Amino acid sequence: MLHIESGKLRQDLSETVNRVAYGHERIMVRRRGKNLAALIPVDDLELLERLEDEEDVEEAEKVLARARTKGEKPIPWDKARKKFGF
């Protein structure tokens, strides 16, 4: 993975974004030698979000299965949202 200092990124933003978008490179942005952020292609981000969603669904299914095993009833979303102010 390429590393770039944040000051250099400011100077070369357009070129760096093109490398990520069209060259499918992943670039770590650093400041004073510490990693701050990563620039990744959109396809990588979409894959990461899908994987996170799948993980969330699996965890929710496990929680529901444990609740059913214990004879507990899930709280409907509308009631939970009102209770917790979502």
For the entire predicted model, the pTM comes to 0.73
Other beta carbons less than 10 A from residue 33's beta carbon: 7
Residue 78 lies in a domain: no
**Average pLDDT for residues 7-19, to the nearest whole number?**
97
Whether 29 and 51 share a structural domain: no
Other beta carbons less than 10 A from residue 45's beta carbon: 11
Other beta carbons less than 10 A from residue 56's beta carbon: 10
Is the distance from CB of 17 to CB of 39 less than 8 angstroms?
yes
Residue 81 lies in a domain: no
Residue 79 lies in a domain: no
Looking at residue 17, its amino acid is V
Which CATH number goes with the domain that contains 28? 3.40.1620
State the pLDDT at residue 40.
98
Whether 31 and 50 share a structural domain: no
- Measured CA to CA in angstroms, residue 74 lies from 19, 36, 38, 70 at distances of 48, 40, 39, 11
Residue 17 lies in a domain: yes
14-42 pLDDT, tens digit per residue, is 999 999 999 999 999 999 999 999 999 99
Residue 54 lies in a domain: yes
Show the domain range for 16.
2-40
Whether 28 and 51 share a structural domain: no
Question: Which long-range CB contacts under 8 A does 33-41 form with residues at least 24 apart?
Answer: 35/3, 36/6
Whether 35 and 59 share a structural domain: no
Given a cut of 90, whether residue 74 has pLDDT beyond it is no
**Average pLDDT for residues 3-7, to the nearest whole number?**
96
Count up the domains in the chain and report the number: 2
